[in-house]
């Protein structure tokens, strides 16, 4: 069983029996941001979502040029069920390598490990972190932006990628720095799965993924969790310290009634969330500033969404945009006003 770089696109995206879009978020992210890498999707009989690609079985996908089955689902605990194991085994028999973003590593399943060894297939686990050191907080060259959130799953990855695209369109050097499994796949296997890092090394992981740079460009670091989510605040804090961000963008989903997965826990007010993130970031980046607020208005009418963004802009004196519906041009404008290109 090799871990060489021979895995990779083109991908067949495995959706399994995902019950909603969020359960297939890894597949959805690849299909949206890297459609040229994806030949099709394979779904179980009880799957309730799609990423808009042709439905193929593993044989058809291999014939269409696929090299790797990418397990594009996320579930509680990040473990493989029986259907997933069967799909992985079938893919390897058909000639495909396998990549997964689940917490359970592929080789931890004996049948998968045996088949990979026998067939010479590559197994890649996005949630296997590199060797890291603890954070040192030594000032380093370069400019860095970190996305933060009022909650989990409020668009931090999308916003970060949208800012990378916007800055590059302006001929400004910018690189997305992945910290989650979906982002790592979008980044071609590069990044650090921060939720799989031992707690002492989280800030060091952020330093590792965004090293010093001297080209005048930006490292755009994908945020995780929320300082206000009792389950994941530690990850968010470690990223804030290790990123040493020059700028933050706050991400928010305005229709959320409570913290994701915690119906007994209310979301913070935007003011409270911004203040807490700035205070935490100042430990390692005293001059940190806010570049804007990104909101997911997909559950609102366009009229309501426009009104909300206008209200937030007046309330904070910051650009507020839905990155999906409106892009991030004005947030990028604000960023470059704060830190003009050399």
Q: pLDDT tens-digit profile of 202-243?
A: 999 999 999 999 999 999 999 999 999 999 999 999 999 999
Task: Provide the 10 A C-beta neighbour count for residue 303.
Answer: 8
Q: Are 281 and 288 in contact (CB under 8 A)?
A: yes
Q: Could you tell me if 150 and 270 are in contact, meaning their C-beta atoms sit under 8 angstroms apart?
A: yes
Q: Quick one: residue 64, left, alpha or beta (phi over 0 = left, psi -120 to 50 = alpha)? A: alpha
**pTM, two decimal places:** 0.93
Q: How many residues does the chain have?
A: 342
Question: What's the pLDDT score for residue 76?
Answer: 67
Topology (CATH level 3) of domain 143-338: Rossmann fold (3.40.50)
Contacts of 238 (CB under 8 A, 6+ apart): 135, 194, 199, 202, 203, 205, 206
CA angle 165, 333, 170 (to 5 degrees): 40
Distance CA 192, CA 189 (A): 9
Which residues touch 11 (CB under 8 Å, ≥6 apart)?
30, 37, 38, 39, 66, 67, 68, 69, 70, 99
The boundaries of every CATH 3.40.50.300 domain in the chain are 143-338
251: left (phi over 0), alpha (psi -120 to 50) or beta: beta
Question: Residue 199: its pLDDT value, please?
Answer: 96
Which residue, 89, 130, 127, is CA-closest to 110?
89
Q: What are the start and end residues of each CATH 3.40.50.720 domain in the chain?
A: 11-125
Contact call for residues 222 and 175 (beta carbons, < 8 A)? no
Helix (H) and strand (E) counts for the chain? 11, 11
β-sheet with 123-125: strand ranges across: 38-43, 11-16, 68-71, 97-100, 123-125
Identify which of 163, 284, 156 has the alpha carbon closest to the alpha carbon of residue 222: 156
- pLDDT at residue number 6: 85
Q: Show pLDDT as tens, one digit a residue, over the chain (342 residues).
A: 334 458 999 999 999 999 998 889 999 999 999 999 999 999 999 999 999 999 999 999 999 999 999 999 987 678 899 999 999 999 999 999 999 999 999 999 999 999 999 999 999 999 999 999 999 999 999 999 999 999 999 999 999 999 999 999 999 999 999 999 999 999 999 999 999 999 999 999 999 999 999 999 999 999 999 999 999 999 999 999 999 999 999 999 999 999 999 999 999 999 999 999 999 999 999 999 999 999 999 999 999 999 999 999 999 999 999 999 999 999 999 999 999 998
| The two structure tokens encoding residue 312 | 């937030």
First to last CA, the chain: 48
11-125 CATH fold: Rossmann fold (3.40.50)
Cβ neighbours of residue 19 under 8 Å, at least 6 residues apart? 46, 48, 49
Give the bridge partners for 41, in sequence order: 13, 55
How far apart, in Å, are the Cα atoms of 195 and each of 125, 153, 231? Answer: 13, 14, 11
């Amino acid at each position: 069983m090799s871990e060489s770089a021979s895995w990779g696109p083109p991908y067949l995206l495995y959706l399994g029996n995902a019950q909603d879009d969020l359960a297939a978020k890894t597949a959805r992210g690849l299909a949206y941001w890297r459609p040229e890498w994806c030949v099709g999707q394979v779904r179980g009989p009880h799957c309730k979502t799609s990423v808009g690609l042709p439905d193929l079985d593993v044989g058809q996908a291999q014939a269409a040029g696929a090299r790797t089955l990418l397990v594009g689902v996320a579930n509680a605990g990040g473990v493989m069920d029986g259907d997933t194991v069967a799909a992985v085994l079938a893919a390897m028999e058909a000639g495909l390598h396998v990549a997964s973003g689940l917490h359970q590593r592929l080789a931890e399943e004996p049948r998968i490990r045996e088949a990979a060894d026998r067939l010479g297939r590559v197994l890649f686990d996005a949630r296997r972190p590199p060797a890291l050191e603890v954070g040192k907080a030594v000032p380093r060259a370069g400019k860095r932006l970190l996305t933060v959130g009022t909650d989990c799953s409020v668009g931090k990855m999308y916003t970060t990628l949208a800012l990378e695209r916007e800055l590059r369109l302006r001929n400004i050097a910018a690189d997305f720095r992945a910290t989650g499994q979906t982002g790592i796949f979008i980044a071609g296997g590069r990044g650090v799965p921060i939720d799989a890092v031992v707690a002492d090394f989280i800030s060091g992981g952020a330093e590792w993924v965004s090293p010093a740079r001297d080209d005048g460009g930006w490292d755009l670091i994908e945020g995780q969790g929320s300082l206000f989510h009792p389950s994941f605040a530690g990850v968010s804090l470690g990223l804030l310290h290790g990123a040493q961000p020059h700028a933050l963008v706050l991400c928010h989903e305005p229709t959320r009634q409570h913290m994701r997965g915690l119906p007994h826990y209310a979301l913070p007010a935007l003011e409270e969330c911004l203040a807490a993130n700035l205070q935490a970031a100042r430990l390692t980046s005293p001059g940190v500033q806010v570049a804007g607020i990104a909101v997911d208005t997909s559950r609102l009418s366009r009229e309501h969404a426009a009104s909300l963004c206008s209200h937030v802009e007046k309330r904070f004196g910051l650009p507020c945009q839905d990155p999906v519906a409106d892009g991030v041009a004005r947030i990028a404008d604000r960023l470059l006003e704060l830190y003009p290109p050399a």
